[in-house]
Structure 1
Amino acid sequence: MSHPESATPSPVDYVAVQESEKFQGHRRRQRSFVFPMAIFFLVWYFAYVLLGAYAHDFMATPVFGNINIGLILGLFQFVTTFAITTLYVRFANRKLDPVAEELRGELEDIEAGAATIEGNAR
């Protein structure tokens, strides 16, 4: 088991990577999707809960047979969840993953270069 004191320090300056424009842009891009979508879903969810708590007559309005507005809106909660998940996966595949792979590749290259240099020094 290795101890933190004896471990060789990483040649990657992760703080510098985190502060880099590429990484910050990546975070902005991710947050530009996640925060608005989270707000949208929370508003939609709490609206459903509040309607269920305070608008009994509206939620009990029959649409057809025993199916009422409350049931339809409740099922739509699931549909919304799956739709948001699908949208995020598509967004991540198109916009986030390529940049993340590029950043990972750069960091792995730095690590590999440092390992080669350390191997040659021995």
Structure 2
Amino acid sequence: MTARQHDASVYEEIQANERFQELKRRFRNWAFPMTAAFLAWYLLYVVLSGWARGFMGAKVFGNINVALIFGLLQFVSTFWIAWAYARYAEKKLDPLADEIRHEVEGKTE
């Protein structure tokens, strides 16, 4: 067996591993809903900016209007999602990924 065939068989074995499938499931269960929620939030901002100009232009205080607040909240939500993902990955993904990695490294040495 060549080194390339050995590498391919290791990858196929990992792909079939139940714990690897669990790792993928955990990632998807977090990433897909969060992505959908963020896109919906972003599109809401765009739609309101285009079709609810009166609402978005409403002054909240001084020269600060709803559109500016929503725009700034886009940045806040982006940083919050990055922080939340880092916490989720640290607790739910990284330990399982480390187990799988150590198992694979033990087999390839």
Aligned to 2:23: 26
Give 1:8's aligned residue: 3
Q: TM-score under structure 1 normalisation?
A: 0.83
2:73 is equivalent to residue 87 of structure 1: no
- Alignment partners' CA distance in 2, 1:56 and 1:8: 62
CA displacement 1:39-82 (0-9 Å, x = unmatched): 00000000000000111100000000000000000000000000
Aligned-partner residue type, residue 61 of structure 2: F
After superposition, where does 1:46-65 map in structure 2 within 5 Å? 46-65=43-62
| Corresponding residue number in structure 2 for 1:43 | 40
For the pair shown, the structure with the greater C-alpha radius of gyration is 1
Measured after TM superposition, the shift of residue 104 of structure 1 is 0.6
Cα RMSD (Å) of the superposition? Answer: 1.2
Q: Percent identity?
A: 46
Matches within 5 A, 1:68-79: 68-79=65-76
Output the CA distance in 1 between the equivalents of 2:47 and 2:3.
56
Return the match for 1:103 from 85, 100, 104. Answer: 100
Tell me how far apart the structure 1 counterparts of residues 55 and 104 of structure 2 sit (CA, whole Å): 56
Per the TM alignment, residue 88 of structure 1 is displaced from its structure 2 partner at its CA by 0.2
TM-score relative to the length of structure 2: 0.92
